[in-house]
C-alpha cells in the first residue's frame, strides 16, 4: 500500500477514534480537518555522467537520475562549481527519468559537479557523488604542427605520408 495513503488512513482512524471518545459524531460538529501526508525525500541521484575534460566556452551535456519513493515529480539542482550550492534547477521530471543538462565553463580549472533532487513537496535528496571535470589551459601551439595540420587539410593524401612524423612531434 502506498505510504501516503497508509499515512492518511492512520490519521483518519486516529481522528475518528478521538472524536468518538469526546462525543463528536456528526459532520456538522467538525469545523476543520487537516490531513497530514507522509512524504519521503528522493533517493540520492546517480553520479553525473558526461565529458570529464574539455575546453572553456564549449557546451557539454551531463545526465543523472533518481527515484522518488512516493513517485512524486522531481526537479534537479546542479552544482557546476563544486561549492555544494545549487547553480541551476531543472523543470519538473518524472521519478526515474534520466535528465540531461548542458553547461559550459568560462574559466579554466578543475571542478566537481554534483546534482540533488527535490520533490513537489520540497523534500530534498542528498547530493550525488561528484564527477571531476577539468578545463585545462591550452597547450602552446607548435608552429610546425600548425603548418602540418593546414598542409594535410589542403592535401589529404599527405596525411598518410606525414602521420608518423606528426605522431612523433605531438609526444613533446
Domain ranges in the chain are: 1-38, 49-135, 139-172
Beta bridge partners of 119: 74
**pLDDT at 154 (0 to 100):** 82
Q: Which of 82, 8, 97, 6 is nearest to 45 (CA)?
A: 97
CATH, domain range 49-135: 2.60.40.10
Q: What are the grid coordinates assigned to 116, written together?
A: 540533488
Is-above-0.75 flag for pTM?
Answer: no
How far, in Å, CA of 172 to CA of 168, rounded? 8
**pLDDT at 146 (0 to 100):** 74
**pLDDT at 48 (0 to 100):** 98
Q: What are the grid coordinates assigned to 50, written together?
A: 558526461
Given a contact cutoff of 8 angstroms between Cβ atoms, the answer to whether 68 and 74 are in contact is yes
Mean pLDDT of 135-156: 72
Amino acid at each position: 500500500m502506498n505510504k501516503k495513503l497508509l499515512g492518511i488512513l492512520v490519521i483518519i482512524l486516529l481522528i475518528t477514534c478521538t472524536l468518538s471518545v469526546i462525543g463528536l459524531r456528526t459532520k456538522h460538529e467538525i469545523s476543520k480537518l487537516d490531513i497530514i501526508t507522509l512524504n519521503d525525500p528522493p533517493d540520492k541521484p546517480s553520479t553525473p555522467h558526461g565529458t570529464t575534460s574539455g575546453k572553456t566556452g564549449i557546451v557539454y551535456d551531463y545526465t543523472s537520475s533518481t527515484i522518488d519513493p512516493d513517485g512524486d515529480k522531481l526537479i534537479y539542482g546542479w552544482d557546476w562549481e563544486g561549492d555544494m550550492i545549487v547553480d541551476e534547477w531543472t523543470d519538473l521530471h518524472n521519478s526515474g527519468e534520466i535528465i540531461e543538462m548542458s553547461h559550459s565553463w568560462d574559466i579554466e580549472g578543475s571542478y566537481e559537479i554534483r546534482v540533488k533532487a527535490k520533490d513537489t513537496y520540497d523534500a530534498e535528496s542528498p547530493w550525488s557523488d561528484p564527477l571531476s571535470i577539468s578545463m585545462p589551459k591550452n597547450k602552446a601551439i607548435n608552429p610546425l604542427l600548425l603548418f602540418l595540420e593546414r598542409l594535410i587539410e589542403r592535401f589529404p593524401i599527405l596525411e598518410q605520408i606525414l602521420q608518423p612524423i606528426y605522431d612523433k612531434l605531438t609526444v613533446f
